[in-house]
Amino acid sequence: MPEYSTTSPLPPWLRSDYNGALRAADAGRAVALWGWVASRRDHGGLIFIDLRDYQGIVQLVFNPERDPAAHAVAEKARAEYYLAVKGTVVRRSENTINRELPTGEVEVVVTEAQILASSAPPPFPLVAGSEAASEELRLRYRYLDLRRAEMQSNLRRRHQALRGVRAWLDGQGFVEIETPILWKATPEGARDYLVPSRVNPGKFYALPQSPQLLKQLLMVSGFDRYYQIARCFRDEDLRANRQPEFSQIDIEMTGATVAGITAIAEGMMASAFEYAAGIKLVPPFPRIAYSEAMERFGSDKPDLRFAMELKNLSAAFAGTSFKVFADALGRGDAIYGLALPGACQLSRRELDEMVANMHTQRERGLTWAKATADGNWQGPIARHIGETERARAAAAAGLEPNGTLLLMAGAADEIRPALGDLRLQLAEKFDLRDDALHFLWVVDFPLFEYSAEERRLVSVNHPFTAPHPDDLALLEREPLKVRALAYDMVLNGQEMGGGSIRIHDPELQLLALKLLGFERDEAMRRFGFLIEALNYGAPPHGGIAFGVDRLAMMLCGTESLRDVMAFPKTQKAVDPMSGAPSEVDARQLRELSIKVTL
């Protein structure tokens, strides 16, 4: 148990320095330190303890002859005990310097020590370099996992990134305004988390999926430039880069143009990267249209860290006698290819597995051909493709000698995403990506897409996105051809954030909702407060939102959002530490007029 009086929870001295801050220049100085025991080594007299706080580790020396009382404390200390010590900083001898520690040139000779808190044996080691515990165990004891240097670094880097965000937006005249957490359920997007109202039986609040409509109302209210680090909630299936609750940098501005918003966003991102990692970004970022991104990469968030682009080979195979390709071209479909460099070799077995997986997982046909040094092809279609077609296809695809050409035929909107996924898999397999940061903007998204499951049009972005002014004439007769004034920022194949210019005309907003299946009465029931607000001189406006967790994940170089959040959920939306979600008392359910039927 702790070696102090229960009437005095603190030792008789306060901390003078953080452990990880001590350097050779501090030699000879008296210090008072607090921290956890990272490791303890008893040399049969002298005891050495590595004392850890959030800034790092420093070595303590306990001498039984010089300071027996302090040495007695060190004898009792074990891993993760919390100590307070006083002592003198001394330089280590040349042969005992630890070059791997920033504090490795010094140690602290302890003269006084107290155990402020004892610890049960930790369920996994917290020392840097130890074998990683399972994620389940880490989340069960998250308060211990957060002591690890990696997690400390991740969350502090996240904090620095948000410092940079706020500094930039404050300097650009934005005002930080909080919006409600308990609000109104609205359709579109993921499922809402619902909160029953006790004082209004049978009615529910919804936790916001985003502050989208509220920030638009702030523009109507005249705040001109708004931002918020907003907490958002979505009841959706989880993956490594999804959580039921998350934070986003939410921005809206009056008089916005696509160029104006992207410039603000680029400056903000540059500030975040410089604050958090000392990296200087150089805006403006390149931009490509959604249609070009899908044509070249099969993805609306292309990874530019490697080349290997998709190529439309329909013209190269015009007039082919190969029945599969000829039938596809006859239907008005397309043929696309992906050329793998000659240095990246796939075995026949690997190619056959790739073909089988494409058929099983995507219900799409994939074939391949390997180019020989003399320009001939080998593979299942080699004998069906004439010399002229081979030459045209190889030239159009950029096929190298000894390279492999992967080919798909079908509707372009179906085969391009399949080849795009294959492109990413091959880049991972052959380590084709460089280490640079490749930012870009994807613009001119479609305004609508058709949902076969719902048998209606749905918004690609959200129902409040403005159509491109050049496409307004198509809105009612050919809505699927209408482009949106929408834009996404992409970094190394990850969507960092997205936004749009909003509809500020109430009649145009009603028309957009009608095309989505909401007749006027239903639209007013669900969105009447917005439509009404737009009738009172709503200025043109637009905005963007960035995932804080995604930003932190990219800055920290981790693959999971759970590594940059303090208390995340599992992929089953469960908190193993607290046991949430959990059952509640029958009395609480009665107060809310709720009956559990499971």
Give the integer Cα–Cα distance in Å for 342 and 345.
7
Give the integer Cα–Cα distance in Å for 462 and 513.
10
Q: Judge whether 467 and 480 are in contact, CB under 8 Å.
A: no
Rounded to 5 degrees, what are φ and ψ at 50? -90, 115
Q: Judge whether 86 and 30 are in contact, CB under 8 Å.
A: yes
How much is the pLDDT for 188? Answer: 57
| Burial bucket for residue 486 (CB in 10 Å: 0-12, 13-18, 19+) | buried
The dotted CATH code for 152-288+440-563 is: 3.30.930.10
Q: Judge whether 410 and 334 are in contact, CB under 8 Å.
A: yes
H or E element: which one contains 297?
A: helix 290-297
Is the C-alpha dihedral spanning 563, 565, 566, 569 positive or negative? negative
How much is the pLDDT for 2? Answer: 38
> How would DSSP label each residue in 525-538?
HHHHHHHHHHTTTP
Q: Judge whether 511 and 464 are in contact, CB under 8 Å.
A: no
> How would DSSP label each residue in 57-103?
EEEEEE-TTT-HHHHHHHHH--TT-EEEEEEEEEEPPGGG--TTSTT
> How would DSSP label each residue in 413-457?
HHHHHHHHHHHHHHHHHHT---SS--EEEEE--BSEEEETTTTEE
How much is the pLDDT for 545? Answer: 98
Give the integer Cα–Cα distance in Å for 419 and 425.
10
How much is the pLDDT for 9? Answer: 62
Q: Judge whether 436 and 369 are in contact, CB under 8 Å.
A: no
For the chain, give the longest Cα–Cα distance.
95
Q: Judge whether 534 and 504 are in contact, CB under 8 Å.
A: yes
Return the residue matching tokens 């409040």.
Answer: 464
**Neighbour count for residue 315 (Cβ, 10 Å):** 12
Give the integer Cα–Cα distance in Å for 140 and 148.
15
Give the integer Cα–Cα distance in Å for 251 and 212.
10
The dotted CATH code for 306-433 is: 3.30.1360.30
Q: How many residues does the chain have?
A: 598
Beta bridge partners of 195: 205
Per-residue pLDDT of the chain (598 residues; tens, 9 = 90+): 334 444 456 677 899 999 999 999 999 999 999 999 999 999 989 999 999 999 999 999 999 999 999 999 999 999 999 999 999 999 999 999 999 999 999 999 999 999 999 999 999 999 877 778 999 999 999 999 999 999 999 999 999 999 999 999 999 999 999 999 999 987 656 789 999 999 999 999 999 999 999 999 999 999 999 999 999 999 987 665 689 999 999 999 999 999 999 999 999 999 999 999 999 999 999 999 999 999 999 999 999 999 999 999 999 999 999 999 999 999 999 999 999 999 999 999 999 999 999 999 988 999 999 999 888 999 999 999 999 999 999 999 999 999 999 999 999 999 999 999 999 999 999 999 999 999 999 999 999 999 999 899 999 999 999 999 999 999 999 999 999 999 999 999 999 999 999 999 999 999 999 999 999 999 999 999 999 999 999 999 999 999 999 999 999 999 889 999 999 999 889 999 999 999 999 999 999 989 898 8
The answer for residues whose C-beta is within 8 angstroms of residue 118's C-beta and 6 or more apart is 1, 2, 78, 81
Q: What is the 3-state secondary structure (H, E, C) of 224-266?
A: CEEEEEEEEECECCCCCCCCCEEEEEEEEEECCCHHHHHHHHH
| Domain ranges (residues) in the chain | 19-117, 152-288+440-563, 306-433
- Name the fold adopted by 19-117: OB fold (Dihydrolipoamide Acetyltransferase, E2P) (2.40.50)
Give the integer Cα–Cα distance in Å for 235 and 230.
17
Q: Judge whether 359 and 372 are in contact, CB under 8 Å.
A: no
**Neighbour count for residue 379 (Cβ, 10 Å):** 17
Residue among 332, 331, 333, 340 nearest 310 (CA): 340
Q: Judge whether 40 and 33 are in contact, CB under 8 Å.
A: no
Residue among 424, 447, 546, 564 nearest 495 (CA): 546
Q: What is the pTM of this model?
A: 0.92
Q: Judge whether 341 and 349 are in contact, CB under 8 Å.
A: no
Return the residue matching tokens 């001939």.
Answer: 376
Helix-, strand-, coil-residue percentages of the chain, each rounded to 5: 35, 25, 40
Residue among 219, 227, 224 nearest 167 (CA): 227
